[in-house]
Structures are given as C-alpha cells and as structure tokens.
A and B are shown apart, each in its own frame.
Chain A
Amino acid sequence: MTLSDVQNGLAAQGYVADDRLAMALHLAQALGRPLLLEGPAGVGKTEVAKVMAGWRDARLIRLQCYEGLDASHAIYEWNYQRQLLAIRASEARGGAREAELFSDEYLLKRPLLEAILEESPPVLLIDEIDRADEEFEAYLLEILSDFQVTIPELGTIKAKVRPVVILTANGTRDLSDALRRRCLYSFLDYPSRDRELAILRARMPQIEGLLARQIVDVVQALRKEDLEKTPGIAEMLDWAAALSGLGVNDLAQSRGEVQATLVCLLKTAADYDAAPPEVMDRLIGKVA
C-alpha cells in the first residue's frame, strides 16, 4: 500500500484529505501506530475514521469518551449476573467448576477488547479522548503501544491483527506526554477555500458551480467573523443541503431563504444576533 493508494481510497469515499492527513493515515497503517487527530470542532476528525472503515471495508468500532469513563465501560467487564446464575444452577446440579466462571463465556467485551479480538483488522475510533479523565489515558497506554489487554483472571490477550486506531481530541484538556508519544500526530484545521469547494463538490455534486462557490465563500467569510461557535464543514454541508432543498440557485437573489436557513450554520443565540440580515447582505454582496 502506498501513499497514493490512501489518497485515492479516501477520494473514492468522498473525503477530500490534504496531503498531510493522507500521509499520516498512510503511516498509521504502514507502521501500525495509532493516529492522534486534533483540531477545532467540525473539521471532519471523526469522519476520517468512518471513511477509513468504508474504504478498507473494515468494521468501525467506536468508543465515545466522556467524563467518568472507566475500564469496565471501555475494555471489559465480567457478567456478574450470569456468573451468579451459573453458580446457583451448578449448586442445584451439584459439582460446580469455578474455573468455568471466568471463561470467555462470562466476559462482556467492551469496544477496546472487541477491537483486539477481531479477526480482520477493524478501525478503532476513540472519539474525544480529552473528555475522558486522565486516569483513563493510562488504561489506553498498554492497548495503544502493545495492542494487548491484561485480564487478571484470563491472562494477557494479544491482538491477532493490529487495528487501525484513530484518536480525536478538541483540546479541552492537555493530553499526557505518554499518550502523545505513542501516537502519530496530525492537526486538522478549517479547510482552505479550494479544499472546501472540493469537499462540497464531492459530497453534493448536484449543487451548481455558482451556488457552491457562494456557499463556500460565505462560510469562509463567516469563519473570520467573531463568532462563539465557528461553523465547521458539517454545518457548511447542512446549509448547502438546506439551500438546495429549497431550490435556491443564487444567494444574492434569495436573501429570505438565506436568513431562514442560517439555523444550519449558527448554533448559539449570540451568534444569531451577531449575523443580522445586514451582515449577511454584506457577506453575500462581497462574494456575489
């Protein structure tokens, strides 16, 4: 597999990646190392994993991190209810074998263990790792460096095949150096005008050239405005879908629809106030 394979594969899935991201993904696969993606919200970090899974025709295993996430929700847990039932049943039958209680059958596999047990390499997405507590990062270290999980009752389970691991972070907390050192790193920023246009074309080929250019220009201009929540690529695509659904062909001709569909782009009341019709008129006037 070469770099151009990765680029073509992503393009075939409708994901427009810049050179650096493609390189990082290529290395992640070639070297078998996890890849840490950072960047603002809505630039397609999570989408990368989905696209990778689609392209490699692999299973996508997703672990959404949150505050308080612990090993029993992320790695494995024993199925206590079933174990208790089994004890009762074997008491009734007579002759219980306690070794059976800690076998595969009673193990609840959570995403990380599942990814390791998979027969063909899956794509493991650990989403928003910075939301999880710092202690949870320590759990991840063994899995990310050696691709193995140690269960005291069963021993160490090694991965049969290395999964492709993608971690995403928004920068709400500093990640530990130990975790960073185990990962390749790539930073995704808001796309340039040309790349955003390419993304829009790839995702919605039905949108006409003029409208596509206008949409991208307005969103790019809006990102420079002082907003609380800067619109990302996902918001841009939503807006484009809304506009094309309403049958808009030219933003300058249909100001009413533009104002009505701004809910797709602006997600807080303050931002909504910051973009009154005059501002939008100015932005559209600039790009039209």
Chain B
Amino acid sequence: MQVTRFPARASGLADRMSGFIAHLRANGLRVGPRETGDALAALTVVDATDAHQARQALCSVLAGDAEDWRRFDELFDAYWFNAGKQRAGMTQNAHVRVQSAKPVIWQQQNAASDEISGENDQIGAPGAADGDADGIDGHLIAIRTTNLSRRDLRELMDEQALKQAETAALRLARAIRDRRSRRRRRSMRGRSLDMRRIQRASLARGGEPMDLFRRTRPPRPMRIVALCDVSGSMTVYARVFLAFLKGLIGSGAEADAYLFHTRLMRVTDALRDHDTLRAAGRLSLMAEGFGGGTDISGSLEGFLSGYGARALNGRTIVLILSDGYCSSDPQALGDVLARIQRKARRIVWLNPLKGWESYAPVAAAMQAALPHLDAHLPANTLEALAALEPQFRKL
C-alpha cells in the first residue's frame, strides 16, 4: 500500500478530501474529481464529526467493487489517522487500530515508511523554506516493498519475450481454435455444391443448373480460459506465463485470463491493454500478494462460483498453469476439478516442473488432480510452450 502523508498545510475540508482522493487513487481505486465532489456532498448529509459515520459514508461513495470495499478501512485509517506512519506524540484516537492487530506485512511497511518519511522530512524542510508554492507535505511516499514487487513485474515483460510468447500463444490458440463444425453452411467458396439451392434456382432457367451454389463447414471457435498461478513457488516462471497470457488474450481467440495465488482475479481487461507497460502496471496493482502462498482449490472454487457460470461452456478449454504445490486439501482440488470438468470441454494442466528430467507428480495435490485432467503437459520455457502445439491439435 502507498501511504500518503497528511497535508499539514491543507486549509480546509475540501483540500484534505482531495488529498484523500489522491491517496485512494495512488492505491489503485478508480476515483477522480467527480468523486471528490460526491464525497463532500455525502458528508453534508451525515454527521461528519462522527468518524464512524464519515467512514461508512465515504466507503459507499468511493468504493467501486468488493475489493475496494474490503480495503477501504485500512486506506481510511492510513490517511485520516496516519495509521500507515505512526508518529510519536500523535494524539491517540479511539478509532486508531491497535498496531499489533495488523498483519506482519503492515508492520514492516510501518518501519519502512518511517524510514522514508524521515529522509523526506529532511529534504522537505529546505524546500518549504525556499517558498515552494505547492509544498512538499502532500506528496506520496511509496513503500519500498510495493515498489519492488511492481518493478519486478514490469521487468517480467521485455519486448522480445513478449513477442515470442505471443507467437507461441497465437499458435496454440489457432491449434485449438481450428475446429470445423460437422454441419455445412452456404458460402461463396466452398468445396461442396449445394444441390438443393442449385436445383431451386434452376427452375427459373427451365431446369438448367446455371447458377452454382456452394457450401462449406463453418469454423467453430473454442474458448480458452487460462488460470495462472502466481504464488511464490511460481515466481521463476511468472515471466514466461504472464507473457503467454498476454499473447493468448491478444491472439484474437475468445480467451479469458485469471491470476491466482490465495485468491483469484480476472486480468483479461488489463491484458487487453495495447500499451504493454501500462498493462504490466495494471497487473502489478492486481497481483497484490504476488509471490505468497497458494490456495489452488480455493481459487478454482471462487472461479467456479463466480465467473465460471459465464466463462465455461461445452466448447471451453481450461488451461491451468501451476506447479501444483498447494496449501489446501488435495481432495478439495480433485472435487473442484471434477466440477469444472463437468462444465468445460477439456482441462489442460501446464506444469513447469514436468519439464524436469526426474519429475514425477508425487505432490498430493497433483495426485488428486490427475484423474480429472485431459492432459498434463510440461511448460517451463517459451520453447516448451511453443512445442506444445502438436499436443493441442490432438485435444
């Protein structure tokens, strides 16, 4: 999370509110000037001096989805109560959360932000003395850990790897997509003649078949749903896989992409962004918690109960990119795969570990998953991915 320092020289409520909106925006909420006005309007109809009421009112106005809704309390505390950067001598308010109640990562951030802000105060003071009109007080201090994870993700996508992955994904998508229907439909250039229409048209010419009509088999596109594991054990491969997903989405096939570690998020829209760097930036905002533990079955469960209803049908191929190391119950993984299997056409597991020479799927989770998979294929480098094409043709 990015922590914003409370602007000490902010003159009034409007000023502070716009600071809060900027703070939310820095933390990934989609809010703008219009929301600033809304937030102020909302405060006029509630008891704005009651922090509890103000918090709830602002949450309704400013949160856009369930994710924002859950994060709002922390962001609110961070800005209005300086909870992200506890200062000695600050008046203890009843609404300030107790530090020990927060997760460990939060405490680390506190330490980091204290350090950074310490430096910043030194830099900031002379700037203010110089009469800087804007003042330094209000600006954003990014937390070191956040910065790191973001830069990592951005480095994951260099131009060349992206191109390679895109071609690999494109080929795979084509291999899957090229499923011809068994039925024939009328078309300008088809292989077979449409005898029925020819005969019907021949009546106008006294029974002479002058106009030839043709029929062809229309292509029936397969849908691809890709679920990519971005937990700690997969960090090494994330570079390849994210590029692969980007290629898959850009391939023109009907494709849908999701990332998961302990929870699941849909990244199709982020990947569709033509600007690669911006796409990576959006991804890194989403992949908060990237590189942590894995809950494959929980994530798949979440997928099935939420997006699954729309994303899966009889012409869907589900690609799971994961190493199968999972903290949850293997039986649960088997069950949820069985349910996906009922709804989708094929399930393909791309496992980076399978590329290793002496790999055997002994992990309990993989054991439980295997009976439900249509294919379990190796995928640890771009070359390996590209080599999968013939395998996919067979599916």
Contact = CB atoms under 8 A, between A and B. Distances in A.
Contact of B69 (A33, A171, A181, A185): A185
A31 B69 CA distance: 20
B310 A26 contact: no
A226 B334 CA distance: 13
A19 B53 CA distance: 9
Interface stretch (B59-67, B108-116, B182-190): B59-67
A172 B56 contact: no
Given A171-B306, A185-B65, A23 B53 contact: yes
B57 interface: yes
Contacts of A275: none
A30 interface: yes
Interface residues of A, number: 27
Given A171-B66, A184-B61, A186-B60, A3 B53 contact: yes
A19 B59 CA distance: 12
A172 B309 contact: yes
> What DSSP secondary structure best describes chain B's contact surface?
helix
Given A172-B307, A172-B310, A31 B63 contact: no
A205 to B, nearest CB: 29
B65 A180 contact: yes
Contact of B56 (A19, A35, A226): A19
A104 interface: no
B236 interface: no
A20 B65 contact: no
A38 B59 CA distance: 14
Interface residues of B, number: 33
B42 interface: yes
A171 B266 CA distance: 12
A181 B46 CA distance: 21
Interface in B297-345: 305-307, 309-310, 332, 335, 339
B38 interface: yes
Contacts of B42: 27, 30-31
Interface string A178-214: 0011001111000000000000000000000000000
Instruction: Pick from A19, A170, A172 the residue with the most CB of B within 10 Å.
Output: A172
A190 B133 CA distance: 50
Given A3-B46, A228-B339, A23 B64 contact: no
Interface string A149-175: 000000000000000000000111111
Contact of B45 (A30, A172, A173): A30
A278 interface: no
A173 B310 contact: yes
A177 B56 contact: no
A24 interface: yes
Interface in B31-58: 34-35, 38, 41-42, 45-47, 52-53, 56-57
Interface in A2-56: 3, 19-20, 23-24, 26-27, 30-31, 33, 35, 38
A187 B46 contact: no
B30 interface: yes
A187 B65 CA distance: 8
B59 A26 contact: no
B90 to A, nearest CB: 27
Instruction: Pick from A27, A181, A228 the residue with the most CB of B within 10 Å.
Output: A27
Contact of A27 (B35, B60, B63, B69): B60
A23 B269 contact: no
Contact of A20 (B34, B60, B64, B68): B60
Contacts of B53: 3, 23
Given A23-B60, A30-B45, A187 B38 contact: no
B45 A184 contact: no
A181 B64 contact: yes
A202 to B, nearest CB: 22
Instruction: Pick from B34, B59, B335 the residue with the most CB of A within 10 Å.
Output: B59
Given A171-B306, A177-B64, A180-B65, 7 more contacts: A24-B56, A24-B60, A172-B307, A181-B34, A185-B64, A226-B332, A228-B305
5 contacts: A3-B46, A31-B45, A171-B306, A172-B310, A181-B64
Listed from nearest, the 4 A-B pairs whose CB atoms lie closest are: A30-B45, A24-B60, A23-B56, A187-B69
